[in-house]
Amino acid sequence: MPDGRRVRHRAYAYITNGSRLLVFRHVDAPQAGLQVPAGTIEPGEPPERAVLREAGEETGLAALTLVAFLGRDERDMSDCGVAEIQHRWFFHLRCDGDPPETWRHAETSGGTPIGFEFFWAALPNGVPQLVANYDDYVPRLLASMSVI
């Protein structure tokens, strides 16, 4: 882009287990705020495939199921200290079974390991404030779960 900001396509995973939403913080950068798992959509990769791949890589969880497409937007990430425009796809994924209450996982797909600390937040009212307008999609998540 002429102004120096790159454009990235990203898939975001709102992973639920029962009436809980999975959120995380960066172990070495808590100032990055609370987030939901997400990652880059590779060229030619369908967003639905990317969200399942990225959610598995970031969380270490297996057997995630795609439940619903929640929406798509475009966002200037400069307020988060990132010089890019993101084209973002949001999805509801379900984690069945009995995952841990909290855990740490290091994603290594990008070369340098990045550590994440995961925990479950109670829906609908126990979700802490999330960064980069991720909160905007919680009502859509609740609607897809019929929990409004």
- pLDDT at residue 110, as a whole number: 65
The whole-number average pLDDT for the span 93-115 is: 86
Residue 35 lies in a domain: yes
Residue 1 lies in a domain: no
Quick one: pLDDT band at residue 107, thresholds 50, 70, 90? confident
Determine the structural domain holding residue 47 and report its residue range. 6-145
Which pLDDT tens digit goes with each residue over 44-81? 999 999 999 999 999 999 889 999 999 999 999 888 77
- Contact between 21 and 144 under an 8 Å Cβ cutoff? The reply is no
Residue 22 lies in a domain: yes
Instruction: Tell me how far apart the alpha carbons of residues 113 and 14 are, in angstroms, rounded to a whole number.
Output: 22
CATH number of the domain within which 53 lies: 3.90.79.10
The whole-number average pLDDT for the span 108-135 is: 88
The whole-number average pLDDT for the span 102-114 is: 80
Residue 129 lies in a domain: yes
Residue 106 lies in a domain: yes
pLDDT at 145 over 80: yes
Which pLDDT tens digit goes with each residue over 1-41? 446 779 999 999 999 999 999 999 988 887 888 999 999 99
Number of domains in the chain: 1
